[in-house]
A and B are shown apart, each in its own frame.
Chain A
């Protein structure tokens, strides 16, 4: 079973003028694959990723994730699906600034409500340690550095052990040391836990070390 299977995706923007941003895109991603999406700025990478994340539902074509056809599901069903199956890391860290680092990581799991609070806390602390954030747990999310925030966002994306982790330039704001930490974590998740990783990146070295590269140009897949 494919982790992701998309067929004939077309997407238009109508504002300010009609503009086709994605043109008949089809590809599959296997379970446990670590895929990067590359392409020039404006080629439609982020747009594609938001479609895959189920947040953007305005497109033509078909998307199936882990065998579930997500195209056509209601907003509430999609929210539940995201909570269980997808971890998302944004280009800018996007933490909740008033909450502690630990709370930020725990929130998606508290929402999922499948484990006890103590279990969730233990797992959150474990992934924070994994990302080199020992000692930062009880600080407010707004009181740590940008690189640390980005890693907290990654820990948060991992908390529900989602089958797919998506990142829109997850290392875009990180120095090479932090980039390497994040890359290694992703690699390990893919290899050891069988989680599928899809990351949009500008970083050639990062892309080269992935299992597979999908390249976009002007809304079309030019190599995969």
Chain B
């Protein structure tokens, strides 16, 4: 330790209470930063978990092209006028015919974690007199479960039962209620083309989403293909999950090279989710930075008081030959010490707070306690912000101290 640091140490240790307050204010700022960001990350995770119970990271489907290409050639000379009235986009194919081939290609991509085919159609469900429309989904049970953990949300019966009997159907709980049926009952499903088939209810689905539970019915994709008289490889949607949902956009870009069908990453269809998670992040950072800055003001205040209190001593040091840089070092050392000690205490305290949040009972999605994420990045950022702010907060009073004119102070 050099002489300046020794002086700083004496200054610090001789005012223990002020030191404690300063350290605590830094610790508080840093621990709050950690707690806020860990919690917000937890909330964001839950949000995505909920989002991805029914939505895949990337969806491929047959879409009407939005641009209308003009088929007739443009007239060559300006004397001819071409008039096309009522140009219209007519979809002449529906769904994806060669879904299996695309699926195999997708599974070869290293970024892709799983692929599930679906056949989605609107149908009528009839139980004697009551009659309601529903969204019928033909699924590949194993792949569907891999992507969405569907089995977890089957509250009666079993997802794998679907594969065992071709007349099995699983209804959303709300839908079953609407038409007044229970597991074991039979219902008839009628397609828009008027084809009817009888199904036996082998299970109920409660996904947590009211809309979905009120409208959806699940059968196997094979049964669905028969019902709608489609070929063996037909699907309306190819659902793709990547290893990291944040990469969905770039993976979608790659997938576009494989197929002409519409490829949509989850971000494109759900701007509101992306922006609300971004907003939560901004909010967390804004609030925690504010807390840190307030802590910074605390340090500034304390260091300023210290400088005012010690103005005579500063003058003496200068009279004895300490220069401006020495004085800055003396006072900056004090705030750096406060920043570092407060920083480490804050990291510890922050971790304790996060662990406490982690055991607060709170039921949401698959969690039973408040959601938190332990992310080393939060700790590093909190510590760096905290020490940078103390450094700035300490520098201003130190500079003021270094400018003290000893003659002004010492003149009798």
- Which residues of A line the B interface, CB within 8 A? 46, 50, 53, 55-56, 75-76, 79-84, 88, 90-92, 94-99, 103, 107-108, 110-113, 156, 168-169
Contact = CB atoms under 8 A, between A and B. Distances in A.
8 contacts: A50-B410, A53-B319, A56-B407, A75-B324, A82-B321, A98-B10, A107-B7, A107-B320
Q: Which of B3, B320, B323, B406 has the most CB of A within 10 A?
A: B320
A16 to B, nearest CB: 15
B323 A94 contact: no
Given A50-B407, A96-B313, A79 B318 contact: yes
Contacts of A112: 321
Given A91-B412, A98-B11, A55 B320 contact: no
A95 B126 CA distance: 98
B321 A80 contact: yes
A168 B319 contact: no
B14 interface: yes
Interface in B281-337: 312-313, 315-326
Task: Give the interface SS of chain B, mostly helix, strand, loop or mixed.
Answer: helix
B164 interface: no
Contact of B312 (A46, A75, A84, A94): A94
B410 A80 contact: no
A113 to B, nearest CB: 7
A53 B322 CA distance: 14
A79 B411 contact: no
Contacts of A156: 320
Nearest to A88: B319
B412 A46 contact: yes
Nearest to A87: B320
Contacts of A83: 320-322
A95 B319 CA distance: 12
Interface string B7-18: 100110010000
Interface residues of B, number: 25
Given A90-B410, A91-B412, A99-B10, A111 B319 contact: no
Nearest to B4: A111
Contacts of B410: 50, 55, 90, 94
A168 B406 CA distance: 14
Nearest to A80: B321
A110 B412 contact: no
B412 A79 contact: no
Contacts of A80: 321, 323
Contacts of B407: 50, 55-56
A50 B318 contact: no
A180 to B, nearest CB: 23
B412 A88 contact: no
A113 B324 contact: no
Given A98-B14, A111-B3, A55 B321 contact: no
Contacts of B317: 96, 107
A19 B15 CA distance: 42
Contacts of B320: 82-83, 88, 107-108, 111, 156
Contacts of A169: 412
A79 B313 contact: no
